[in-house]
Chains A and B, each alone.
Chain A
Amino acid sequence: MSQAIQVRGLEKSYKDLKVLKGVDFEVAPGSIFALLGSNGAGKTTVVKILSTLLRADAGSAGVNGFDVARQPADVRNSISLTGQFAAVDEILTGRENLVLVARLRHLKDAGTIADDLLARFSLTDAGGRKVATYSGGMRRRLDIAMSLIGSPPIIFLDEPTTGLDPQARIEVWAAVRELAAQGTTVLLTTQYLDEAEQLADRIAILHEGKIIVTGTLAELKQLLPPAKVEYVEKQPTLEDVFLTLVGTKDQK
């Protein structure tokens, strides 16, 4: 297997609502892949299927060479998930949260691992406090730190910077870049086009249940009709590409 993540013809419905109608994409090892889509596009659904929390109705998905439906335990051994909503224990302290995950991953020196991560995510001072007292940004940083424990080869980040202030966003971006530099494959979902633009090696746009386009930022920019480029003075942003491709509703 050459791809870290391989998704073919993925379909998923909730009752009558068809959310995924044949999603295909591939993610190369060690790259950062951004799955872009508006609210309700199905990004979280894709991430849940890839992290074995949900079963697909049809299609197949491979993660680190393992099939999510047939080898879920191997998949779980290869991944780490940071879900859309912070998956932290509010009653424990930040440090206790990290120690808990390190223990569940059967790592030695859980305490040392926790202290290192607290320092890396500027949480050392808050480490002994209950997470319930943390701000949204601190909680998110702790959440991501918990996902790094055990250095799994593939990390899923579902809207990692939603609700963060610009400073915290930049910190998270730096952490993601560092991960990729160490060879970790990162699949992140986002509604922020500039986030995909800043971070991702490749971008896929999920719209109405399908991936309507995938490519590098440069490739996506070429999809804009050249005529339009002549009228606008600045380079088209990914936002322009996105809105052109999905067709904004308010224009109708």
Chain B
Amino acid sequence: MTDIFTLTGRSLRHISRSPDTIITTCVTPVMFMLLFVYVLGGAIQTGSASYVNYLLPGILLITVASGIAYTAFRLFMDMQNGIFERFQSMPIARSSVLWAHVLTSLVANMISLVVVVLVALLMGFRSSAGLASWLAVAGILILFTLALTWLAVIPGLTAKTIDGASAFSYPLIFLPFISSAFVPTDSMPGPVRAFAENQPVTSIANALRNLFTEQPVGDDIWIALAWCVGILVVTYFFAMSTYRRKIS
């Protein structure tokens, strides 16, 4: 355990030496937020008082999706470097290196999420949520980040090139566009709507939105949690077995 923290400290120091990774992570979601609120938002009917209030949950999910590209990137770079072999030849648990990357990803994404929420507040985002709701929001986002982090570990371990290591995140960034994150799904044509209503982003975004507005969360939160835990379990086992194959 202490080894994991020592190694996490090392990765976090990497991030503090190149804070641009945090900034780059935030740029995409903030751009989308500006574009949708100030350019397209006027034409979108959400039935909600302020479009930025409607939009933020989806933007937060995009933030995580773009943040984990760096998780894959950092892991890939470490595997290329001889330092990985040094760690593997030292008397420490071999999975420590991987866990350190996961914890680092969690911390880095939380920082990005806070930055994006602050920008949203500047743009007029307001929430009536109390402490319990905010904690629930944080819990869902942590779970979502962990699920996507373990997903990112897989390309980080198996990619042949740097571009390959982070390319997997592009489809994830666009998944929210075919969901309730930007526009209510009832405006979509049949098959698209069916997809949108049954993919994880919609239930997670709806759950977050209801928490922010202190509305009853209904079934969405359970579906959201089921998706997060389900993705987490599958990607964790797949990533771990990839890792074991890689180092044996």
Which residues does A use to contact B, with CB under 8 Å? 48, 51-53, 55, 73, 76-77, 79-81, 83-92, 96, 100-101, 103-106, 130, 146
Closest CB in chain B relative to A74 CB, distance in Å: 9
Residues of B within 8 A of A91 (CB): 13-14, 17-18
Does B39 sit within 8 A of A, measured CB to CB? no
Cβ-neighbour of B82 out of A51, A52, A85, A105 (below 8 A): A85
Cβ-neighbour of A51 out of B10, B89, B248 (below 8 A): B89
Residues of B within 8 A of A106 (CB): 2
Does B92 sit within 8 A of A, measured CB to CB? yes
**How many Cβ-Cβ contacts under 8 Å join chain A to chain B?**
62
Q: Which among B2, B17, B81, B83 has the greatest number of chain A C-beta atoms within 10 A?
A: B83
Given contacts A87-B82, A100-B6, A146-B86, contact A77 B17 (CB under 8 A): no
Whether B88 pairs with A53 at a CB distance below 8 angstroms is: yes
Residue of A nearest to B18 (CB): A91
Does B85 sit within 8 A of A, measured CB to CB? yes
Given contacts A55-B248, A105-B91, A106-B2, contact A96 B13 (CB under 8 A): yes
Closest CB in chain B relative to A102 CB, distance in Å: 10
Whether A92 pairs with B86 at a CB distance below 8 angstroms is: no
The 3 closest A-B pairs by CB, nearest first: A87-B82, A87-B86, A81-B89
Could you write out 21 A-B pairs with CB less than 8 Å apart? A51-B89, A52-B88, A53-B88, A53-B247, A55-B248, A73-B91, A76-B91, A80-B90, A81-B85, A84-B82, A87-B83, A87-B86, A91-B17, A91-B18, A92-B10, A92-B14, A104-B7, A104-B90, A105-B90, A106-B2, A146-B86
Residues of B within 8 A of A92 (CB): 10, 13-14
Alpha-carbon separation in the docked complex, A101 to B6 (Å):
9
Residue of A nearest to B80 (CB): A85
Alpha-carbon separation in the docked complex, A96 to B86 (Å):
15
Whether A81 pairs with B17 at a CB distance below 8 angstroms is: no
Alpha-carbon separation in the docked complex, A172 to B3 (Å):
30
Given contacts A52-B89, A104-B92, contact A83 B6 (CB under 8 A): no
Which residues does B use to contact A, with CB under 8 Å? 2-3, 6-7, 10, 13-14, 17-18, 81-92, 247-248
Residue of A nearest to B6 (CB): A103
Residues of B within 8 A of A73 (CB): 91
Closest CB in chain A relative to B118 CB, distance in Å: 27
Alpha-carbon separation in the docked complex, A73 to B247 (Å):
14
Cβ-neighbour of B89 out of A80, A89, A90, A130 (below 8 A): A80
Whether B81 pairs with A87 at a CB distance below 8 angstroms is: yes
Residues of A within 8 A of B17 (CB): 91, 130
Closest CB in chain B relative to A98 CB, distance in Å: 12
Given contacts A73-B91, A100-B6, contact A81 B13 (CB under 8 A): no
Closest CB in chain B relative to A116 CB, distance in Å: 20
Alpha-carbon separation in the docked complex, A84 to B86 (Å):
11
Residue of A nearest to B84 (CB): A87
Given contacts A91-B13, A100-B6, A104-B3, contact A76 B82 (CB under 8 A): no
Cβ-neighbour of B85 out of A87, A101, A146 (below 8 A): A87
Residues of B within 8 A of A48 (CB): 85
Alpha-carbon separation in the docked complex, A103 to B13 (Å):
15
Cβ-neighbour of A76 out of B18, B81, B89 (below 8 A): B89
Whether B6 pairs with A79 at a CB distance below 8 angstroms is: no
Closest CB in chain B relative to A83 CB, distance in Å: 5
Closest CB in chain B relative to A87 CB, distance in Å: 3
Closest CB in chain A relative to B218 CB, distance in Å: 46
Alpha-carbon separation in the docked complex, A146 to B81 (Å):
15
Alpha-carbon separation in the docked complex, A86 to B84 (Å):
11
Whether B86 pairs with A81 at a CB distance below 8 angstroms is: yes
Whether B248 pairs with A79 at a CB distance below 8 angstroms is: no
Residue of A nearest to B87 (CB): A104
Residues of B within 8 A of A105 (CB): 90-91
Alpha-carbon separation in the docked complex, A92 to B86 (Å):
15
Residues of A within 8 A of B86 (CB): 81, 83, 87, 101, 146
Q: Which among B10, B91, B248 has the greatest number of chain A C-beta atoms within 10 A?
A: B91
Alpha-carbon separation in the docked complex, A240 to B78 (Å):
41
Cβ-neighbour of A83 out of B7, B82, B91, B92 (below 8 A): B82
Residues of B within 8 A of A87 (CB): 81-86
Alpha-carbon separation in the docked complex, A53 to B13 (Å):
27
Residues of A within 8 A of B10 (CB): 89, 92, 100
Alpha-carbon separation in the docked complex, A87 to B18 (Å):
21
Closest CB in chain B relative to A129 CB, distance in Å: 12
Residue of A nearest to B15 (CB): A91
Residues of A within 8 A of B83 (CB): 87-89
